[in-house]
């Protein structure tokens, strides 16, 4: 009786090859936090913009929310012309990327805006909603397993 086994090919893992494409792994706690923060931001936009505000104010709150959700990844364009391995980030961009992807930085911003300033004034409310969206972005990245960048620009999955 002969046994036929398929040849195994060892896939490159991030630990063995820092430039290998990492496998996506969902982290349910971060996913729950992302859903909560997204729902909270959407609720605030609907409540203050669409229900109690003008269409222009609703558009401004929506734009602020979307802008703050996208903003952390705008740091990826720093050093865009630099030669870096695929999947890595320019070393010039790493400190900015990591600062924009730290939950404590976004939480401090949102807390100062939401608690320290008048929460119902138009600009602080828009910034508060933006901070919620910023934290939602970070939670979404963490839910997908993406952490901060290493000093050389490579990424480690969490």
| List of the chain residues with pLDDT < 50 | 1-13
pLDDT at residue number 115: 73
Instruction: Return mean pLDDT, the chain.
Output: 83
145 burial level (CB within 10 Å; 0-12, 13-18, 19+): middle
Q: DSSP letters along 117-134, please?
A: S-TTSHHHHHHHHHHHHH
Secondary structure of residue 146 in the 3-state scheme: strand
Residue 151 and residue 55: Cα distance in Å, rounded? Answer: 45
Helix (H) or strand (E) holding 48: none
Residue 136 and residue 126: Cα distance in Å, rounded? Answer: 15
Q: Is residue 3 part of a domain?
A: no
The residue range of the domain holding 60 is 28-157
Q: Is residue 15 part of a domain?
A: no
Please tell me the total count of domains within the chain: 1
The answer to whether residues 32 and 15 touch, using CB atoms and an 8 Å cutoff, is: no
Q: Is residue 1 part of a domain?
A: no
Residue 150 and residue 30: Cα distance in Å, rounded? Answer: 21
Instruction: List 157's β-bridge partners, or say none.
Output: 146
pTM over cut 0.85: no
Q: Is residue 8 part of a domain?
A: no
Judged by phi (left if over 0) then psi (alpha if -120 to 50, else beta), residue 117 lies in beta
Q: Is residue 4 part of a domain?
A: no
pLDDT at residue number 128: 92
Residue 44 and residue 52: Cα distance in Å, rounded? Answer: 11
Q: Is residue 90 part of a domain?
A: yes
pLDDT at residue number 8: 43
Q: What is the pLDDT of residues 94-134, one digit of tens each?
A: 999 999 999 999 999 999 987 777 666 788 888 999 999 99
């Amino acid at each position: 009786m002969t046994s036929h086994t398929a040849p195994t090919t060892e896939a490159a893992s991030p630990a063995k090859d820092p430039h290998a494409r990492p496998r996506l792994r969902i982290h349910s706690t971060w996913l729950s936090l992302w859903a909560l923060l997204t729902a909270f931001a959407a609720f605030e936009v609907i409540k203050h913009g669409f229900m109690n505000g003008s269409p222009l104010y609703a558009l401004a709150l929506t734009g602020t929310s979307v802008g703050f959700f996208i903003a952390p990844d705008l740091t990826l364009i720093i050093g865009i012309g630099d030669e870096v391995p695929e999947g890595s980030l320019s070393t010039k961009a790493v400190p900015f990327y990591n600062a924009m992807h730290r939950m404590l930085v976004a939480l401090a911003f949102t807390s100062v805006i939401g608690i320290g300033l008048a929460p119902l004034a138009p600009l602080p409310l828009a910034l508060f909603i933006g901070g919620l969206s910023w934290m939602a972005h970070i939670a979404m990245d963490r839910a997908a397993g993406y952490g901060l960048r290493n000093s050389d620009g490579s990424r480690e999955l969490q």
